[in-house]
Every structure is written in structure tokens, then in C-alpha cells.
Amino acid sequence: LLDSLRFDQIDERHMNIKNAYDKTCKWLLKKSEYLDWLDANKLGEHHGFLWIKGKPGAGKSTLMKFVLANARKTMKDRIVISFFFNARGEDLERSTIGTYRSLLLQLLEQLLEREQLLERQGVIDSLGLSTLRISTNHRWGVESLKALLERAIQKLEESSVVCFIDALDECEEWQIRDMISFFEHVGELTVSAGIKFWVCFSSRHYPHITIRKGLSLVLEGQQGHAQDITNYIENELKIGQSKIAKEIRTELEEKASGVFMWVVLVVGILNKEYDVGRMHALRRRLQEIPGDLDELFRDILTRDSNSRDDLVLCLQWVLFATQPLKPEQLYFAILSGVEPEAVSRWDSNEMAIEDIKRFILNASKGLSEITKSENPTVQFIHESVKDFLLKENALGSIWPDLGTNLRGQSHDQLKQCCLNYMSIDISAHLELSKPFPKASLQEAVDLHKSATDAFPFMEYAVRNVLYHADVAAGCGIAQENLIHSLPLANWIKLDNLFEKDEVRRHTEDMSLLYVLAERNMSNLIRVHPSILSCLEVGKERYGAPLFAALGTGSKDAVRAILAVHAATQSPESWFNNLRSRYRHNECRWDEFGRDFKFSNRTTALSYLGELRDEIIFALGLEIESIMPNSKDQDGRTPLLWAARNGHQAVVKLLLDTGKVDVDSKDRYGQTPLWWAAANLHEAVVKLLLDTGKVDVDSKDRYGQTPLWWPAASGDEAIVKLL
């Protein structure tokens, strides 16, 4: 159970928040709101809620980290749990599923620590968990987690819980509203049951969410918060103690407006000016620095034009990469864009990781940082940097040549970086056997590691080049050139090199349309020139591109294939008439699972006949190479498969073509009518009988007529029809 709740980044955001500076944050411990919140006698008034709010960059997360550390140190008799949302992190770091998993894990671990060894099973039993079969890879849902967390809190009895949740604004608003409602419900339950439960939130002022009962504390205007800024400036602004220096400190405090992030950045700027002997220019420089955090970011980005290309590409990668990049990955990602001819095998003796870190700091002009975790990655120094860059096309307004389509142009640029890096001939540096060793073998694992060590950005480039191109296409940036020029053979080789699951590797003959369908690249599918090849069967595990989309649940890809084909037909065509009546939310595409494997024993149209989806089946009929009377190795036609599975709409579609042999027999002498009757599909039996083209007395090789199974099963309705 506990292992199923854990995830790799469970404490990463908390770890990467800077500790409170000396002589800061202590004021909160003496504030009346904080003391009233912790007063057990006042739980009935506020239900254990305290909400700390402040501007972006005000220092809320640092304050929460401080107060959490203090609670752990001073509240030994209470269970202290926490979660810090992280908009720059993985999905679980910025969702309430991650929140509930983390809180429940911490709560259970601390409850179990407090019990004697023999009594620990009793804790699990009391929560009703002993009967649950939960594997390490269990897929938790929000409602089940909420139910377990509520049950665990209700079982606390004499124990008390103090919970801290930071940065609510870094999660989707609808999820936060649901979470607030949940905690309000828990607050009411605990107060009525006499259980001591406290929860402290922190967030920006927007979005505003009203709670029925609770205390609030706004950082702006707090004397203690203002004093924290004064203390920080006094300790960190190293410009001496002259009269001018004191005046500058005073002006800096007044200009800060309670935004700690602004102060930290400006102190760094002024220290740099002082270090190069420009004491005389400090006051003018401070006056030039905008008092607004957004305008300060703009000033930092435009102060000089040094390494402008490095800066733009660094910002684009941190903004739009599919995952946070490691420092060495980001270094080569940027280099691939600005100096592709300089990209080669990474030699850490020539370019040490410390050199790379300095490059990134300089390239981002100090607006990015490297996380302090087991696997460090690069992120913005604060979520407000990302907000600024994405707000009202900030980058486009700073550098007009980027245009107004920042997202599309950025993804197109990142695609090009990936292509440039993929052009490296890795075989000149690695011993690549042909074929590659099986993915499960240690030899393959070692090869993967060698490739990653030598070419840190290669796996990302291969896995995401099509993603970035697809997003760019969706934003209106033409990708036809990529479709025609992608070095597909090289892509297949590299993708197979990094694939850890043998079944997901591809053959050398795989088509581009197949991988686009498999990976749900709907925008690239729309510009692919050969959409009619979507049912051409190759050597891949799913056979044809359309089956790859169905098997992987790539619904956008399926819709794109249908839309492209529809565009080739007249608006009045029977296919478009059918499509106009069709509702995607009624589709059953998930009947093709990931474990589906195409077999040449069955025709493509017969597989589609099993799907019970008339528009998909109609697509198959429209493609000339798919004949409605084609038989698989058992002699079964698409009509037989549809009848056997009771797919009434598909049967009707086939009959309406007027081209099918309604009474065709398979190798066992069984007809579509025989199978529909045997499986008791009354509506299909009626459809087939209404054609007047079926022999109700036809016998299979075992002497059974269509009447045999309905009679044996006692199905009077079908017996009467026959």
C-alpha cells in the first residue's frame, strides 16, 4: 500500500525552495492569526483553516517551508504532513492526486511509527485496507484517495494532525476548488467528532475561493514581512556602509512593495554593479530598475544583447520542453540550435558539468536555476517568470522577429534543434550491433547507458521531435517539409536504441504514417500526403496505421484520419452524411487495447467489423483495396464477423452496399446468419432475414442449422424468426 502511494518527485518542490534567510519569517509564529489557528479551543470557530495569501514572488513558499520546519521541531506530539504544489514539475507534483497520495502516505507512515510492532496491522485493519489488493503500480483515483484520507483522519482519536499545503495557484483551479470542498467537509467532521485537525494553505490572491469558516493572513502590509525584506537587504546587499549605501538601502525597501523575489533579483544586480567599481552609478541603476516584477524581468532580458540567441532558445526550452531537462541535456539542446556544427560527443573532461551550469546561468540571465535533487533539472527561478513570458506575448514584444505565434514558432525551433542533434553519427562513437540486442538483455541496457552518457540529449530529441512538430503544426506552422524530409530510417534506429520494451520497437520498414498514428500526432496526420495508406498492413505489431491509433487509444489520430478522408469526398457523399450523424462520444475505439496484435489470418476489414463502429468501418469500405467480401484464412468475411459479434450498425452498413454475399460460408460451413443466431443477436438475425437472400436451413459441417443454438438456448424470439 505505502509503495503504491509513493512517487519519485514526492518531495522535490519542498527540497528546492530556498531556506528562509537569517532573521526572517519568525514573525509569523507570533501573529495572532497563527496563534488563533493553533488554539484547539477555537477549532469550532475556524474549523482548523488558515489561508496565507500574497503577491507572486512575495515569499509565500519560503514562509511555508519555514513554518513547516518549525512545526516538525516543536510539535512532536502531533502528526505533521505537507505538500508543495509545483507547476514546473511532473503531473503528480501539480495535481490533487499527487497531493492526496503524498498526504495519505505521510499520515500512514507516522501513524505506523507511533504504534507498537504488533499493533501496526490493527492500524491497517481499522482503515479497511487489509482486504484491498493493491500492487506497487496501483492506479489511484481521486475519489478513492479522498475516501481513504478521510477514513484515516477519522481514526486519529487522540492523535492530532497539522497539514501544510503550499502554492494552490500552481494547480488547476477546478481541482483546487474540489480539494477545498473536501477539506471543508473534513473540517466539519473532525470538529463534530472532537478530532484535532489543522490545515494551512498558501496561494496568490487569484483565483479567489471562498471558504465558509477559516482564518486568513495577507502578506502585503504585514510589519513582520516588511522587516524580513529589511533584514535581507541589510545582510545581502554588500555595498558598504557609506551614507549613499544607507540611502540606497532605504530606497530599495520602499520600492520593493513587499515582493521578496524582486528584492532578491535587484540585490544581485546592485552587488554586481558594486563589484565592478560602479558605486557612483548605483543610485541611478536602482532608479532605472522597474518596481514591477514583470517589468524587472523585461529589464533583465533587454539590458544587453549579449548571447541573445542563447537566451531566447534557453527560455523556449524551459518553457516548452515536454519535461524538465537535465543541465547537460539543455546545454546540447541550445547548442544544437545556435551552433549545430559544434555539436558532437560529450566529453566531460573537456566540458565539465560545472561549466555547463555556468553556461545555463549566463544563457538565462539568471532567470533559471538547477534543482537540488537526486537527478537535477533546470527550471525557472520562480513561477512568475513563466507567467511573464507567456503573458500577452512578452517574448514577441521584446523581440518582434519572434512574431505573435510564440508557442508555434517555439515548438518549430525546438523541433529543428532535435533534428540537428539527431544528425550526429553516433555509430562513429558507439559499437552498434545489427540487429540491436533484445531490449530486456543487459547488453541493451549497457548500450542505452553508453549512448546517453555520450549523447545526453539524443533520447529526448528522438522521442520528442515529432511531438514538437505536431504542436507547431497545430499552431499553424507548416510541417510538410518535415513529412517529406524526416530521416525515418535513422529515427527508427535511434528510437529502437532507446526503447526499453522489445514489443514497442519498430521494423526498418515502418511507415511514417504508422508512427504518427501510434503516437497520436493528429496535426501531422492532417498534412500527410498518403492518408489512404492508413489500412496498409505492414510488419508492425498493430499491422496498419489505423490499428496502431486504435490500439494505443490515440483518438485524436483516429479523428484526424477520418477528417482527412472526409475532406476528399463531396459534402453530400454517403460517407460525410454518415459522419455528420455520428457522435464521437459513442465510439467504442477502446475495444482495441495495447495488447492487440494484428494477425494475417484475419483481414483488416474483418477486424474493423469487430469494432462495432460504423464510421470506422465505413472508412474501410471507402478504401478501394479493402473488398467487402474479402475472406480471412478461416473463410470469414467482414459481414460474418460483424454478425457474429452482434454489431447491428456495421451489418446494416454492409448490407446497404449491395455488394456483400449475405450467405457466404466459412471453412466450417457456417454463415453470417448461423453465427448471429448462435450468439443470440436477435436484431442482426432479423436484418439478415429481411434481405431474403439467406438459407435458413443451411447446415454447417456438423449438420447444425441456424435454428440449432437458439432452440438449445431457449430463445423463443429468434426461434420464431427462423
Ramachandran angles phi, psi of 678, nearest 5°: -60, -35
Is pLDDT larger for residue 87 or for residue 321?
A: 321
| 456: preceding bond cis by omega (within 30 degrees) | no
pLDDT number for residue 39: 96
CA distance 144 to 182: 13
Is pLDDT larger for residue 593 or for residue 518?
A: 518
For the chain, how big is the Rg over CA atoms in Å?
32
CA distance 11 to 9: 6
- Delimit the domains of the chain by residue range: 2-218, 223-289, 308-505, 627-721
CA distance 268 to 691: 84
Q: Which range, 320-324, 402-406, 592-596, 624-628, has the best average confidence (pLDDT)?
A: 320-324
Mind listing the pLDDT tens digit for each residue in 421-467? 999 999 888 888 788 999 999 999 999 999 999 999 999 999 999 99
Least confident of 4-18, 438-452, 467-481: 4-18
pLDDT number for residue 117: 43
Is pLDDT larger for residue 575 or for residue 35?
A: 35
Is pLDDT larger for residue 5 or for residue 472?
A: 472
Asked if pLDDT for residue 657 goes beyond 50, the answer is yes
pLDDT band at residue 679 under the 50/70/90 scheme: very high
Torsion sign across C-alpha atoms 86, 92, 96, 100? negative
CA distance 3 to 104: 12
Amino acid, res. 407: R
| Cβ count within 10 A of residue 370 | 18
Mind listing the pLDDT tens digit for each residue in 63-118? 999 999 999 999 999 999 999 999 888 899 999 999 999 999 999 888 888 764 44
C-alpha cell of residue 63: 514562509
| DSSP H or E segment with residue 101 | helix 96-114
Buried b (16+ CB within 10 A) or exposed e, 331-346: bbbbbbbbeeeebeeb
Mind listing the pLDDT tens digit for each residue in 685-703? 999 999 999 999 999 999 9
Buried b (16+ CB within 10 A) or exposed e, 531-560: bbbbbbbbebbbbbbbbbbbbbebbebbbb
Least confident of 38-42, 209-213, 354-358, 391-395: 391-395
Is pLDDT larger for residue 667 or for residue 602?
A: 667
Amino acid, res. 119: E
- Phi-psi category of residue 399: left, alpha or beta, with phi > 0 → left and psi -120 to 50 → alpha: beta
CA distance 187 to 312: 48
Alpha carbon of residue 605 to chain centroid: 34
Mind listing the pLDDT tens digit for each residue in 239-267? 988 888 999 999 999 999 889 999 999 99
Amino acid, res. 70: N
pLDDT number for residue 313: 97
Fold of 627-721: 1.25.40
pLDDT number for residue 591: 63
pLDDT number for residue 115: 65
pLDDT band at residue 137 under the 50/70/90 scheme: confident
- Residues 2-218: name the CATH superfamily: P-loop containing nucleotide triphosphate hydrolases (3.40.50.300)
Alpha carbon of residue 377 to chain centroid: 17
- The model scores a pTM over 0.85: no
For the chain, percent of residues with pLDDT exceeding 90: 61
pLDDT number for residue 392: 67
Q: Which range, 109-123, 291-305, 634-648, 667-681, has the best average confidence (pLDDT)?
A: 667-681
